Amino acid sequence: MLQSPPASPGMLEHEIDTPALLIDLDAFEANLDTMAARLSGTGTRLRAHAKTHKSPVIAHQQIARGAVGQCVQKVAEAEILAWGGVQDILVSNEVVGAAKLARLAALARIATISVCVDDAAQVEALDRAAEHAGVRLGVLVEIDVGAARCGVQPGPDAVALAKLIAASRHLRFSGLQAYHGSAQHLRLPAERHFAIRAATDATRRTVEQLRQQGFECPIVGGAGTGTFELEVVSGVYTEIQAGSYCFMDADYARNLDASGHPVGLFRHALFVLATVMSAAQPGVAVLDAGHKAVAVDSGMPLVWERPELRYAGASDEHGKLVFGAHETAPRLGEKLRLVPGHCDPTVDRFDWYVGMRGQRVACLWPVAARGGLS
């Protein structure tokens, strides 16, 4: 089932059906501008991560501000972007299985498609898929720079894979994928510095070893919203893959700067609008948005501009707000904005973005790659 659009352009916020996924367009555009300004003149390009927004509409706004293209995690996401006119797409992890590789290779007829490998068998499988489709695929070697998840070890293992790629008739060696995911959410700047210095050292060493063997890296990619300024100043990374920056979420807002304050570079631009569906208990208001509507894997949502209301618990379809005896109780039927704990999986719960200018609905955009798991 596709969800019905919860609003129409011109409506006021209180008229929107809930739960609904709102974008504050002013904040969103400011975030895109801030990122473009931060990268301007650095020589590092943005390849924004579409795992966050799942929308060609948003991808094109990022590209219009200088992004070289988009990252995705899944072939289904690459399809939606390519079909929506995005010309340069990197699948920033491994794709395994003949059926998925055939779909990926087919996309290379209409867009520049790159993908990561961390296993020699995958190089062969990719070469075969590209040959069958009559295309050439870009391939990056993923190296593990701290997450201990995917990727070969930096150094000789990566060079060996690069040689295999370069020797394949239907592939081109496109560089290194070196993303340190867990570093994004380290709260203290010193922790992030330490983690990313180790990552950039390993990446630099690998780039140099590749160069000694005659392999240049057109792409050295990685970094996210939490650390991208560190990767930029390293001089090693050519592309950063930040995604969440366009929306921000409650979890990223807990990252601190050197003075102990939230980093504050980007604004909260994404909200789940919810309605008070029960106010029968003292000190409690129940919202119609539980964890089927707002992801709680990175903590509970916050109530926007109502810090006295605490979203204390999410069940499947209910969110339980609690508040002190002296606070003004939310009214039955009142609509409140929630700041999601984690923007990416929250976006994936909705078929529609409702774009707001102030209190008025300006536009509806489809979350076109929602549910793109495969």
**Distance (Å, rounded) from C-alpha 364 to C-alpha 352?**
6
Residue 296 in contact with a second copy, rule: CB under 8 A: yes
**Which of 69, 151, 224, 226: binder of a second copy (CB under 8 A)?**
151
Q: How far apart (Å, rounded) are the C-alpha atoms in residues 138 and 227?
A: 26
Q: Kindly state the smallest distance separating residue 263's Cβ from a second copy, in Å.
A: 21
User: Alpha carbon of 280 to those of 113, 284, 329, 330, 348: distances in Å?
Assistant: 54, 8, 11, 11, 31
Does 71 participate in binding a second copy (rule CB under 8 A)? Answer: no
Element housing 314 (H / E)? strand 310-314
Q: What angle do CA 182, 184, 186 make, to 5 degrees?
A: 80
Which range touches a second copy (CB under 8 A), out of 196-204, 232-240, 252-260, 275-283? 275-283
17 binds a second copy (CB under 8 A): yes
183 contributes a contact to a second copy by CB under 8 A: no
Q: Which is nearer to a second copy, 10 or 43 (CB)?
A: 10
Helices and strands: H and E segment counts in the chain: 10, 17
Tell me how far CA of residue 45 lies from CA of 106, 241, 259, in angstroms.
Answer: 26, 9, 28
Query: Cα separation of 199 and 205, whole Å?
Result: 10
State CA 126 to chain mean position distance.
25
Q: Does 96 bind a second copy (CB under 8 A)?
A: yes
* 11 near a second copy, rule: CB under 8 A: no
Select from 14-22, 211-219, 257-265, 355-363 the region that touches a second copy (CB under 8 A): 14-22
Instruction: Determine the interface stretch with a second copy among 23-31, 215-223, 255-263, 316-324 (rule: CB under 8 A).
Output: 316-324
Residues near a second copy (CB under 8 A) are: 1-4, 6, 17-19, 51, 73-74, 76, 80, 93-97, 99-100, 118-119, 121-122, 144, 148-152, 181, 275-281, 284, 286, 288-289, 291-293, 295-297, 314-318, 320, 332-333, 344-345, 348-351, 368-374
